């Protein structure tokens, strides 16, 4: 697996995907997914607020510090609201879709995400 692919997995994991879902998504076993996620070095994970490596052991951590976390939440109040409605355009089929929740959804459906994911790998 390339670092880019690892980061893609990591991103999905941060978006709240379970290990099981990731395993199904890329057709790997759960222990393999765990191995991949834990093989990501802390200095390969960047703080979404300041862009510095987080140096955290927890790969789902998005921030390097408590300060960055607070700052980010302040600037993105919607982030904490679970029931925020968003709209997006699916890059796979071009359809407009709505979704709820704080995590970002790029595709209208799982099947589109899957199609696009594998198309990109080729
Ligand atoms: Zn930071
Ligand atoms: Zn779609």
Domain residue spans in the chain? Answer: 1-40, 46-75, 80-122
Its pTM surpasses 0.85: no
Angle between helices 3-14 and 30-39 (to 10 degrees): 110
- Ligand with minimal distance to 72 CA: 1
- Ligand with minimal distance to 65 CA: 1
What's the CA gap between 35 and 38, in Å, rounded?
5
pLDDT of residue 64: 85
| List of residues 6+ apart from 115 with CB closer than 8 A | 92
Mean pLDDT, the chain, rounded, equals 81
- Ligand with minimal distance to 63 CA: 1
Strands 96-100 and 85-89: antiparallel
pLDDT of residue 112: 92
């Amino acid at each position: 697996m390339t670092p880019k692919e690892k980061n893609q997995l990591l991103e999905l994991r941060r978006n709240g995907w379970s290990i099981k879902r990731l395993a199904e998504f890329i057709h790997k076993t759960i222990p393999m997914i765990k191995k991949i996620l834990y093989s990501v070095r802390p200095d390969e994970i960047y703080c979404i607020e300041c862009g510095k490596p987080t140096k955290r052991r927890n790969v789902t951590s998005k921030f390097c510090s408590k300060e960055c976390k607070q700052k980010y939440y302040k600037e993105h109040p919607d982030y904490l609201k679970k029931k925020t409605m968003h709209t997006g355009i699916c890059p796979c089929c071009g359809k407009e879709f709505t979704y709820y929740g704080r995590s970002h959804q790029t595709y209208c459906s799982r099947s589109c995400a899957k199609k696009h994911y594998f198309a990109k790998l080729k």
